[in-house]
Structure 1
Amino acid sequence: MRVFIGIKPEGEFLNQLEAAVAPLRREFPGLNWVPSRNRHLTLRFLGEITDKVLNALCGRLDAFPPRVDPFSIQIDRLGGFSGRSGLRVVWAGIQSSFRLEKLKNWLEKQLGDMGIAAEDRPFHAHITLARISKPLTDPTLPQKLHQARLPDLTFPVATVHLFQSRLSANGPLYSILKEVPLEHA
Structure 2
Amino acid sequence: MTRKIRAFIAIDLPQNLKTELAQTGKRLARQLPDGSVRWVKPERMHLTLRFLGDTAVTQLPAIATQLDELAAHHAPFNLHLDKLGCFPNRKRPRVIWAGMAGNTNALLAFKQDLDERLASLGWEEEGRPYQAHLTLGRVKNSRAVSQVKWGVEMEKAGMGVTAVHLIESQLQRSGPIYTIRHTSQLKTEN
Q: Same fold (TM over 0.5)?
A: yes
The CA deviation string for residues 159-183 of structure 1, in whole angstroms up to 9 with x for no partner, is 0011111111111111111111111
Shift of 1:115: 2.1
- Contact kept in structure 1, 2:93 and 2:145, CA below 8 Å: no
- C-alpha separation between the residues in 2 aligned to 1:105 and 1:166? 27
Aligned residue pairs: how many? 181
Residues 1:77 and 2:74 are matched in the alignment: no
- C-alpha separation between the residues in 1 aligned to 2:9 and 2:176? 15
Q: Partner residue of 1:16?
A: 20
- C-alpha separation between the residues in 1 aligned to 2:19 and 2:170? 25
Shift of 1:18: 2.1
Mark the CA change 1:138 to 1:48 in structure 2 (over 3 Å): closer, same or farther.
closer
- C-alpha separation between the residues in 2 aligned to 1:171 and 1:53? 25
Mark the CA change 1:66 to 1:32 in structure 2 (over 3 Å): closer, same or farther.
farther
Q: Partner residue of 2:164?
A: 160
Aligned-residue Cα RMSD (Å) equals: 2.0
How much identity, in percent, do the aligned residues show? 32
TM-score (ref. length: structure 2) = 0.86
Q: Partner residue of 1:115?
A: 122
- C-alpha separation between the residues in 2 aligned to 1:3 and 1:110? 16
Residues 1:140 and 2:147 are matched in the alignment: yes
Q: Partner residue of 1:2?
A: 6
Mark the CA change 1:116 to 1:139 in structure 2 (over 3 Å): closer, same or farther.
closer
Mark the CA change 1:76 to 1:140 in structure 2 (over 3 Å): closer, same or farther.
same
TM-score (ref. length: structure 1) = 0.88
- C-alpha separation between the residues in 2 aligned to 1:112 and 1:132? 32
Q: More displaced, 122-131 or 110-119?
A: 110-119
- C-alpha separation between the residues in 2 aligned to 1:117 and 1:134? 33
- Contact kept in structure 1, 2:170 and 2:177, CA below 8 Å: yes
- Contact kept in structure 1, 2:81 and 2:98, CA below 8 Å: yes
Mark the CA change 1:138 to 1:103 in structure 2 (over 3 Å): closer, same or farther.
closer
Q: Which one of the candidate residues 130, 133, 142 is aligned to 1:126?
A: 133
Q: Partner residue of 1:35?
A: 41
Structure 2 gap segments, 5+ residues each: none
Shift of 1:54: 2.0
Q: Equivalences for 1:29-68 in 2 at 5 Å?
A: 29-30=34-35, 31-68=37-74
- C-alpha separation between the residues in 2 aligned to 1:126 and 1:66? 24
Q: Which one of the candidate residues 150, 156, 178 is aligned to 2:154?
A: 150
SS in 2 for 1:14: helix
Q: More displaced, 175-184 or 37-46?
A: 175-184
